[in-house]
Amino acid sequence: MAERYVEVALDRRGVRCRARLLDDRAPITCAAVWDALPLSSDVYHAKYARNEIYALFPPFAEAEPPLENPTVTPIPGDLCYFSFAGAELGTSAYGYDREVRPGTTLVDLALFYERNNLLLNADVGWVPGIVWGQIVEGLEDMAAACNDLWRSGAAGETLSFRRV
């Protein structure tokens, strides 16, 4: 199979990077994400994992992917896939307003932009993610924009994933 790429963007900030899908390590997850593209939603900056931005989406795979190519210590440039029940995230502590409700399922597509990340949540413990992509171009500019997002706020910003 030929290598496949996605563009990841913070739309309002006009910052984009390019990622290679890890079809050899997470083929089921890559197929599910690829088939669902393009995707875009409000962006959030992580509270627990540290150097992470992410967006939440309704489930888009026919069946949730198995935990392939898992990690609890993502590195800079990793794109990760998580699936959560709304009850796991549906508390005011997480700051979501409309997407999260008990009885729903959410897909979290995340980008890790710096080192020293640990997927340990004080409410539920270890939260392994599926590494489905790796940024190959533009990580430095994206990391600067992510730091700005952390300091200036995420309101009005979207995180988008598109085929390249």
pLDDT tens sequence across 82-114:
998 866 766 655 556 555 666 678 899 999 999
Rounded mean pLDDT of the chain? Answer: 91
Rounded-to-10 torsion of CA 117, 15, 39, 159: 50
Above 80 in pLDDT, residue 62? yes
Above 70 in pLDDT, residue 24? yes
Above 80 in pLDDT, residue 161? yes
Q: Which pLDDT does position 92 carry in this prediction?
A: 57
Can you tell me the distance from the alpha carbon of 121 to that of 72, in angstroms, rounded to the nearest whole number? 11
Q: Which has the higher per-residue pLDDT, 72 or 92? A: 72
Task: State what percent of residues in the chain have pLDDT above 90.
Answer: 78
Which tokens go with 89? 């995230």
In order of 24, 83, 122, the CA distances from 65 in angstroms are: 15, 9, 25
Band (124; pLDDT cuts 50, 70, 90): confident
Return the H-helix or E-strand segment holding 30. helix 27-36
The tokens 């949730």 sit on which residue?
64
Can you tell me the distance from the alpha carbon of 76 to that of 79, in angstroms, rounded to the nearest whole number? 9
Lowest-confidence segment of 56-60, 100-104, 129-133, 148-152 by average pLDDT? 100-104
